[in-house]
């Protein structure tokens, strides 16, 4: 029969009432506003009128046998068909439903038309006869089950790929939250320094345990770019030492240089630098990692041609890329912490004379050389402007 409350509100809208006033009139809260009280009287009158009309329509529908739902095809999901059937009988009311299908429908064409056509031929049925045989109905339901299983596998596959990114996202967000909530992350920075020192040494040892076989020149050059002051160690000095002693000495020099930097900059400034640098580097590297993961996801399906499971390959590649990103974050943070310098902003002179200062008139517009987003940053970092000061 319809919704009397909705019909009453529609009539009030046509009469020019505001929607907010109508909602207030339809509520049961106690009010003293005369305008709302008058609107409530109008609403109650309209509601009683619409209720009487819908009740009469409802009785007519019930007398005719209830609502009859006609489906022009079967949906891929049995759940949707059942919902449509459920519209025919609400709260014990009478009702019926009838579905009409064709063997040329998308569902039947892909998943069952040949079998059902063969069954109809064996039963001697032609196109003019309704398909009411239970075997054919079961065949349609089997086709729906196959479609549902197909879509379930698709969703499951997508979910398994998404779980890889979700796990990495949880790790990054947890670490970022710790940096935001902590005022002192010195211990985290020291741990980063230790890991960067170890990785830097391992990168130039060539897997040899004998220091005389190490690439001392490139090792010291890389260390000076990251965590050591210039010319604090020499290759001749380190070549005479054992591997363990070399590692301990380089780490000791790096931590000593870190403490010296803290004294020069100041403890409070150092803590603030560490937090800002860490957040900036993590955000930038995480964005780059997301782009790289999207590109990996697009092409990982080609691994199936090499008899490899794309999901397993994606998980392996994603883990390797995530570990590489963590290493790059640590190296970048350490480099900034050791080499960043504080620059005080020049304070602008304030004009203390009220309403007496006037901007000097210029004959023309001042030309400003803008830096393109893909051009090198003018700060000298070597990065693109959009990845540095223009971020």
- On whether the CB atoms of residues 362 and 348 are closer than 8 A, the answer is no
Confidence of residue 364 (pLDDT cuts 50, 70, 90): very low
pLDDT at 259 over 80: yes
Q: What is the pLDDT of residues 50-108, one digit of tens each?
A: 999 999 988 888 888 888 889 888 888 888 888 888 888 777 788 888 888 777 777 77
- On whether the CB atoms of residues 73 and 100 are closer than 8 A, the answer is yes
**Lowest mean pLDDT: which of 144-153, 172-181, 192-201?**
144-153
Average pLDDT rounded to a whole number, residues 336-357: 62
Q: What is the pLDDT of residue 129?
A: 66
Q: What is the pLDDT of residue 355?
A: 44
- Mapping DSSP onto H, E and C, the string for the chain reads CCCHHHHHHHHHHHCCCCHHHHHHHHCCCCCCCHHHHHHHHHHHHHHHHHHHHHHHHHHHHHHCCCEEEEECCCCCCHHHHHHHHHCCCCCCCCEEEEECCCCCCHHHHHHCHHHHHHHHHHHCCCCCCCCCCHHHHHHHHHHHHHHHHHHHHHHHHHHHHHHHHHHHHHHHHHHHHHHHHCCCCHHHHHHHHHHHHHHHHHHCCCCCCCHHHCCHHHHHHHHHHHCCCCCCCCHHHHHCCCHHHHHHHHHHHHHHHHHHHHHHHCHHHHHHHHHHHHHHHHHHHHHHHHHHHHHHHHHHHHHHHHCCCHHHHHHHHHHHHHHHHHHHHHHHHHHHHHHCCCCCCCCCCCCCCCCCCCCCCCCCCCCCCCCCCCCECCCCCCCEHHHCCCC
Average pLDDT rounded to a whole number, residues 110-127: 68
Confidence of residue 382 (pLDDT cuts 50, 70, 90): low
Q: What is the pLDDT of residue 191?
A: 93
How many residues appear in the chain? 391
Average pLDDT, the chain: 82
**Lowest mean pLDDT: which of 242-251, 283-292, 333-342, 343-352?**
343-352
Highest mean pLDDT among 91-105, 151-165, 272-286: 272-286
Q: What is the pLDDT of residue 303?
A: 84
- Give the Cβ contact number of residue 40 at 10 Å: 19
Q: What is the pLDDT of residue 326?
A: 94
Could you confirm whether domain 164-339 is CATH 1.10.3060.10? yes
Q: What is the pLDDT of residue 86?
A: 85
Confidence of residue 1 (pLDDT cuts 50, 70, 90): low
Angstrom CA distances, 62 to 51, 56, 86, 266, stand at 16, 10, 16, 85
Angstrom CA distances, 144 to 117, 135, 150, 169, 187, stand at 17, 14, 10, 37, 59
371: its two tokens: 């830096």
Q: What is the pLDDT of residue 357?
A: 40
Task: Please state, in angstroms and rounded to a whole number, the distance separating the CA atoms of residues 344 and 367.
Answer: 26
Residue of higher predicted confidence among 316 and 211: 316
Residue of higher predicted confidence among 33 and 112: 33
Task: Please state, in angstroms and rounded to a whole number, the distance separating the CA atoms of residues 77 and 261.
Answer: 66
Q: In the chain, what are the domain boundaries?
A: 1-64, 164-339
pLDDT at 284 over 90: yes
């Amino acid at each position: 029969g319809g919704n009397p409350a909705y019909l009453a509100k529609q009539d009030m809208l046509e009469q020019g009432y505001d929607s907010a006033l109508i909602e207030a009139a339809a509520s049961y809260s106690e009010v003293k506003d005369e305008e709302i009280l008058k609107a409530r009287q109008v609403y109650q009158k309209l509601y009683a009128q619409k209720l009487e009309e819908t009740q009469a329509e409802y009785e007519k529908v019930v007398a005719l046998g209830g609502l009859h739902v006609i489906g022009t095809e079967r949906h891929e999901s049995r759940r949707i068909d059942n919902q449509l059937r459920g519209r025919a009988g609400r709260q014990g009311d009478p009702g019926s439903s009838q579905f009409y299908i064709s063997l040329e429908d998308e569902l039947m064409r892909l998943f069952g038309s040949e079998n059902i056509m063969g069954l109809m031929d064996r039963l001697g049925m032609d196109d003019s006869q309704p398909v009411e045989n239970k075997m054919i109905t079961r065949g349609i339901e089997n086709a729906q089950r196959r479609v549902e299983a197909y879509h379930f596998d698709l969703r499951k596959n997508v979910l398994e790929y998404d779980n890889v990114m979700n796990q990495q996202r949880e790790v990054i967000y947890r670490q970022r939250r710790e940096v935001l909530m902590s005022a002192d992350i010195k211990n985290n920075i020291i741990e980063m320094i230790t890991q960067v020192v170890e990785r830097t040494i391992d990168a130039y040892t060539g897997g040899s345990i004998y220091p005389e076989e190490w690439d001392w020149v490139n090792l010291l050059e890389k260390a000076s770019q990251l965590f050591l002051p210039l010319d604090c160690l020499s290759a001749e000095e380190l070549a005479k030492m054992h591997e363990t002693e070399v590692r301990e000495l380089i780490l000791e020099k790096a931590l000593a240089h870190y403490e010296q930097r803290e004294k020069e900059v100041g403890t409070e400034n150092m803590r603030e630098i560490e937090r800002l640098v860490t957040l900036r580097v993590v955000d930038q590297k995480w964005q780059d990692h997301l782009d790289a993961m999207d590109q990996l996801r697009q092409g990982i399906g080609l691994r199936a041609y090499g008899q490899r499971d794309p999901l397993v390959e994606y998980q392996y590649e994603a883990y390797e890329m995530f570990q590489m990103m963590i290493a790059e974050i640590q190296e970048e943070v350490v480099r900034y912490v050791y080499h960043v310098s504080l620059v005080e902003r020049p304070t602008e002179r304030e004009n203390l004379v009220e309403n007496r200062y006037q901007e000097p008139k210029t004959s023309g517009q001042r030309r400003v050389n803008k830096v393109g987003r893909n051009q090198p940053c003018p700060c000298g970092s070597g990065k693109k402007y959009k990845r540095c000061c223009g971020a």
